[in-house]
């Protein structure tokens, strides 16, 4: 079973999907992937992550996984790059940011 990973800003109720959690044999998280590619290889998601970090500088951020008991609570937050009516599409989120 794949476990999805998200960087979360609880105070702003925002999340950004990092992709599937990748772990070593000891269970230590070593990275994230979207499909067959490492998340870091996705330029749009990487730009969104850097903007997310800049936008939330000074806030407490956490990484949560879809198998976390608290996930149901954060699943209702607005997702950057999500596809529901209340989410923020990448193109809208990145508009006007450096590199765009």
Cβ atoms of 18 and 63 within 8 Å: the answer is yes
Phi and psi torsions of 18, nearest 5°: -95, -20
Q: How far apart are CA 13 and CA 65, in angstroms?
A: 16
Asked whether the whole model's pTM tops 0.85, one would answer: yes
Task: Retrieve residue 19's tokens.
Answer: 């992709």
Q: How do the domains of the chain map onto residue ranges?
A: 4-94
Would residue 27 be called left, alpha or beta, if left means φ above 0 and alpha means ψ between -120 and 50 degrees?
left
Over the stretch 12-39, which tens digit does the pLDDT of each residue have? 999 999 999 999 999 999 999 998 889 9
Report the share of the chain in percent with pLDDT over 90: 76
């Amino acid at each position: 079973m794949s476990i999805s990973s998200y960087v979360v800003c609880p105070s702003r109720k925002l999340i950004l999907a990092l992709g599937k959690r990748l772990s070593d044999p000891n269970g230590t998280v070593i990275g994230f992937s979207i499909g067959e590619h490492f998340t870091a290889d996705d330029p749009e998601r990487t730009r969104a992550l850097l903007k997310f970090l800049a936008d939330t500088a000074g806030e407490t951020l956490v990484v949560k996984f879809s198998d976390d008991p608290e996930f149901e609570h954060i699943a209702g937050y607005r997702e950057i790059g999500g596809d529901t009516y209340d989410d923020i599409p990448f193109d809208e989120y990145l508009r006007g940011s450096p590199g765009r």
